[in-house]
Structure 1
């Protein structure tokens, strides 16, 4: 840990997002053990992931962003509004134009511009959509620590990386398992599942570099990442986790547990 703490923020962000990508790969590796995961369990895992992301959006991103805005002499509510809505609008535009297919749906329900890409590619792109704001959030959090603002702590950045890593596990499974059920080999199913997390180290490094060079945009960047993550939760994770009506109650509890776990991590480490 001491060696990690002695590294620069960009290197810290890179290592932290390598961890989050690794947990995505761990989730994808379930294809080597089984061909199918119980639907109720999968729904609960997605609900848990949603809870983690909601908590991380506030405790690790939005609240520190508002505090930083005040410290820098900005109008806190205006900075939060611009950043948060900007993140949501950005994700809507990406969702509108990037071809992708949500897990559990047939190829005819692919979103984005029309394309002849394979189902496996579209599934990977759907989860990659999640991972862009997640990697960005981790990178911005570590970059914020280097800026020396009191609301940004190394413990909070580490807590965010751990929380996002935990919720990445079901995302890797959500890509690899459907492909395995459709007859794709274990190795190829795993490859596509883990590939969805490869964008996180890239986004993490870019996020850290961006805020290090533009200190004044830090509050906006944190709120932007929060807005992007909330968009993903509401647009995809919650609807997917509650597609089976009979599982709604237990999935809701799983979402609350995910929120609680992330809240404990952030408050205890931050």
Structure 2
């Protein structure tokens, strides 16, 4: 792991964010690639993976985003420690809530009649991809902001913590890719086409990763707001989409254990590397 952090330290923050989010996109594609081996994934396995993804996102929101935001506030602003975190956190959640109302999308396992956002005649495959894309916007933003923050030399923002966040986001992207491609294959779509749609949901991560890094490079006082914004966006996705989707089939106990497992993995990654 030290070799990875040393290698990536040689690039500019924007390039670091790009490399890291290309990795997370790649793991999404890896998950989507399960469609070449399986026509169906057992529902308990899928729910367990979604629960793990939720746990990773919850842990990342605190350990990688909110805690550093609170710690760096006295160093970059004259505001109370809690205020930027509060403003950023609420703003991030409201941003994704607004997107959720506007962007047409369909949750995993839902029918076309349950599609959310602006009414549209788009195909089910597109709506499924857009649902996972909605998850990936705050994830890409979080990774980008984490790498961009390192350049300011603050003790609470380290390259190790940014790498840990990228690894954690990558781990939870695996089930998201599979959760799009495999259901589409089960419905009769070809393997190649189902894979294409599954990996396509991750394309926004490099875009928002680079945007997040660039946004905080020259605006030091905005760092705690940006980190907290990403945290609020991620927690909204967990509560509004991931956990309800994982609970849809009655596997609540399994999902709860998986959430704890995902949280533990991300906590260890962040504390060990950050």
TM value normalised by structure 1: 0.98
Match in the other structure for 1:193? 198
Cα shift at 1:178: 1.1
Cα shift at 1:74: 2.2
Q: 2:160 aligns with which of 155, 160, 163?
A: 155
Q: 2:83 aligns with which of 55, 78, 88?
A: 78
Instruction: Say if 2:144 is the partner of 1:133.
Output: no
Q: Distance in 1 between matches of 2:181 and 2:81?
A: 42
Match in the other structure for 1:203? 208
More divergent stretch after superposition (62-71 vs 259-268): 62-71
Structure-to-structure mapping, 1:120-269, within 5 angstroms: 120-245=125-250, 247-269=251-273
Cα shift at 1:202: 0.4
Instruction: Say if 2:10 is the partner of 1:6.
Output: yes
Structure-to-structure mapping, 1:1-150, within 5 angstroms: 1=4, 2-72=6-76, 73-150=78-155
Q: Distance in 1 between matches of 2:125 and 2:247?
A: 23
Cα shift at 1:215: 1.3
Cα shift at 1:213: 2.1
Q: Distance in 1 between matches of 2:103 and 2:255?
A: 29
Cα shift at 1:101: 0.5
**Superposed CA RMSD:** 0.7
Cα shift at 1:175: 0.7
Q: Distance in 2 between matches of 1:242 and 1:116?
A: 28
**Unaligned ranges ≥5, structure 1:** none
Aligned length: 269
TM value normalised by structure 2: 0.97
**Unaligned ranges ≥5, structure 2:** none
Q: Distance in 2 between matches of 1:111 and 1:250?
A: 27
Runs of 4+ in structure 1 deviating by more than 3 angstroms, as ranges, are none
Q: Distance in 1 between matches of 2:50 and 2:108?
A: 11
